[in-house]
Amino acid sequence: MTAVLFENVSRHFGAVRAVDSVNLAIAEGEFFAMLGPSGSGKTTCLRLMAGFEQPTGGHIEIFGETAEGVPPYRRNVNTVFQDYALFPHLSILENVAYGLMVRGIAKAERLKAAENALAMVKLPGYGSRRPGQLSGGQRQRVALARALVNRPRVLLLDEPLGALDLKLREQMQEELKALQKSLGITFVFVTHDQGEALSMADRIAVFNEGRVQQLGTPEDVYKRPQTRFVADFVGSSNVLAPSFVHSLGYPARYASLRPEALALGEGGSNARRFSGTVVATSFLGATNRLTVEAAGTRIAAMLPASAAVPPQGTGVTLSFAAEDLHLMDEAA
């Protein structure tokens, strides 16, 4: 069943097209990521799902029911806010129980449910504290518990890990994924971090300038970008101009070539190769990054740290397997 359906949905603010004719079909139980730079329309899409924004055009359905004009408090959807938006005047337990309280659930019952939700996010016994007494990571868990205690059919997460440090972020990524699997709830999350989207999501919609540039599995989006924007944004691929692609023996179209697909030397018999000059090198720990200029194009290559790095200014030949170059749909 389709959890969230967008049909040609637009949200314009005056002349600004924050969301422009977006089509989405998010399946039930899916972990769906909306990825894009700031101002790309991904957060507005999330707010359209939550009901904080109304579309200026198009049609939205949540589990088959029309969502336009339905206020946030009548949607079976809950949100984890970027700044967590905990209520500072309430205790942690009261925060988590808030959704049940406004729905008129008896006190004993809702506090018990809130305790369970806190245990689920690994914060048992924190109920009597105030939001100000918790760390950023703990507040994030409280926000998660506060949303999940209402048993939403769709959980919306707005940059949920944005404010956490790297270590905590990686840990939360795994926990979120495990939580989503065990609960079976549809998760829709917004992020500008392509690594986060690639590692967590079942499917990714890449946004730019209010439009969906590409929608597919992480592997699809990473290996077979359809537009120059996607190739560049999702993992900084080399975007090759049609003339250069043509000189390598392909049709004259834009193409993407992953830096890690390139190797030094002539390569095998069915490899493609080109020559250029090393213009920069940098040591990245596990790999070395080599920037080569060939026919006026700068191309980045990731080489294993064990390989010898040619010094700046030397001529090199780089090769790659023919199938690693991905031709994009975008015309020249």
Partner 1 sequence: MRSDRSSAPMSLKITAAAGLLFMHLPILLIFVYAFTTEEKSYQFPPPGFTLNWLAVAWNRPDVWAALSLSVRVASIATAVALVLGTLCAAAVSQTRFFGREAISLLVILPIALPGIITGIALRSAFSFADIPFSFWTIVLGHATFCVVVVYNNAVARFRRISGSMIEASMDLGADGFQTFRYVILPNIGTALLAGGMLAFALSFDEVIVTTFTAGQQQTLPIWMLEELVRPRQRPVTNVVAMVVVLVTFLPILAAYYLTREGDQIAGAGK
Integer Cα distance of 164 and 151 in angstroms: 25
- Report d(CA 17, CA 304) in Å as an integer: 44
Name the residue nearer to partner 1 (CB basis): 147 or 231. 147
Closer Cβ to partner 1, 96 or 290, answer by number: 96
Q: How far is CA 79 from the centre of its chain?
A: 16
| Site of interaction with partner 1 (CB under 8 A) | 50-52, 71-73, 77-79, 81-83, 85-90, 98-99, 101-103, 130-133, 146-147, 150
Instruction: Give 329's Cβ-side CA count (13 Å radius).
Output: 8
The CA R_g of the chain, rounded to the nearest whole Å, is: 24
Closer residue to partner 1 (CB): 86 or 263:
86
Counting Cα atoms < 13 Å in the Cβ hemisphere of 289 gives: 14
CA distances from 150 to 101, 202, 308, 331 (A): 10, 24, 57, 48
Select 50 or 240, whichever has its Cβ closest to partner 1.
Answer: 50
32: its two tokens: 């769906």
100 versus 300: smaller Cβ distance to partner 1: 100
Rounded to the nearest whole angstrom, what is the least distance from the CB of residue 259 to partner 1 in the complex? 39
Phi, psi for 119 (deg, rounded to 5): -65, -35
Q: How far is the CB of 95 from partner 1 (least distance, A)?
A: 9
Q: For the CB of residue 96, give the shortest distance to partner 1 in the complex, in Å.
A: 10
CA distances (Å), origin 12, targets 44, 59, 142: 10, 14, 33
Report, in Å, the least distance between residue 40 CB and partner 1.
20
Residue 234 is given by DSSP the state T
Min CB(30)–partner 1 separation in Å: 21
3-state SS of the chain: helix, strand, coil percent to 5? 30, 35, 35
Pick 148 or 245: Cβ nearer partner 1: 148
Q: Please, what is the minimum distance in Å from the beta carbon of residue 192 to partner 1? A: 18
Residue 156: CB minimum distance to partner 1, A: 8
**Between residues 101 and 302, which has the closer beta carbon with respect to partner 1?**
101
